[in-house]
Amino acid sequence: MFFEGSEKKLEIIVNASAPKLRSLDRTFWLKLVAASNADILSSISNEYCDAYLLSESSLFVWDDRIVMLTCGASTLAESACYCIEHLGEQAIAYVCYQRKNEYYAHLQASSFSDDVLRLRHFIAGQAYRMGHLDSHHHYIFTTDKHYQASRLDTTNELLMYHISGTVADYLRGDQQSTIQISQMLQLEQLFNGFSVDQHLFSPLGYSINGIRGTEYFTIHITPQENSSYVSVETNIDISSTQVDIFAELVRLLQPNSFDIIGFNSHIANKPFPHYLCLSHCAMTIEQGFNIHFSHYQQNGLEVLSPTLL
């Protein structure tokens, strides 16, 4: 029943001189996704963005950038290489490649070091680890090129591990519907006015993409007992919403631990009731992103049973 829910993530921003990404033909996107060993399941579009739901997570395409997340043992660095090679290194303004904390790193097709070696065949960049190796940590590769991000270019990621409670039980049950899941997660209240595209996986798993103008959110749930994982990512400024989106999702999904990763975000080191922030790591890169990583854990002793293997 093991499935590695935790994602690799890729963001590529192109120069003004590059072709508009949304004008590229479907073959390009099929090949880009195939390079990660994933498939396109469905898509939604609005004036600004095409949002693809993938067999392994999501791809969002705007005219000047893509954001792609892939879980499992997918090979997202290959999609990055394919994209840079196809568009030409000159067309690229900025690349950010991330790997989130994995349950079973040894089952991956490559290590982060392998990925960085591969990426550096195509583009120069710096690689960092945020957080201790033996605890939750986050890997990030960013390009060296001259690029200046807007301070308003924000992304917030919430990565929850070992979910519990009523919603988690429902997600592990036999009978599920996308309507029921989005209701239980209060997604209409949390992400009001978004067009959404949802998918239930067999035997377990749920994905949703949402877009509203240039904004997006995406949620991926791997509910499997002992290795459950839920990721939430959005480019809306969650510090200014009426409802505290991340606090609400943590309350609903009751993870044993979670990480928050922010780019130009205002929620670093935020207190969460019943959780301790165990470690925090931040850096500002030349390209105008302040990046922070915080690891939270339920406050109090957790008494575990041994897992028979």
- The residues binding its own copies (CB under 8 A) are 101, 103-106, 108, 111-113, 116, 126-136, 139, 161-162, 226-227, 256-257, 269, 276-281, 283, 297, 301-309
Minimal distance, residue 136 CB to its own copies, in Å: 7
For 205, the token pair is: 């798993």
For 200, the token pair is: 């239930």
Minimal distance, residue 83 CB to its own copies, in Å: 22
Nearer to its own copies, 46 or 256 (CB): 256
Minimal distance, residue 275 CB to its own copies, in Å: 12
Minimal distance, residue 228 CB to its own copies, in Å: 10
Beta-carbon neighbour count of residue 147 at 10 Å?
18
Nearer to its own copies, 137 or 232 (CB): 137
Beta-carbon neighbour count of residue 153 at 10 Å?
17
Tell me the pairing of strands 40-45 and 50-54: antiparallel
Nearer to its own copies, 54 or 267 (CB): 267
Q: How far apart, in whole angstroms, are the C-alpha atoms of residue 188 and residue 101?
A: 29
Q: What is the dihedral of CA 282, 283, 284, 287, to 10 degrees?
A: -110
Nearer to its own copies, 30 or 105 (CB): 105
Integer Rg of the chain from CA: 18
Nearer to its own copies, 30 or 283 (CB): 283
Residue at 304: amino acid letter: L
Minimal distance, residue 238 CB to its own copies, in Å: 21
C-alpha angle 237-242-247 in degrees, rounded to nearest 5: 75
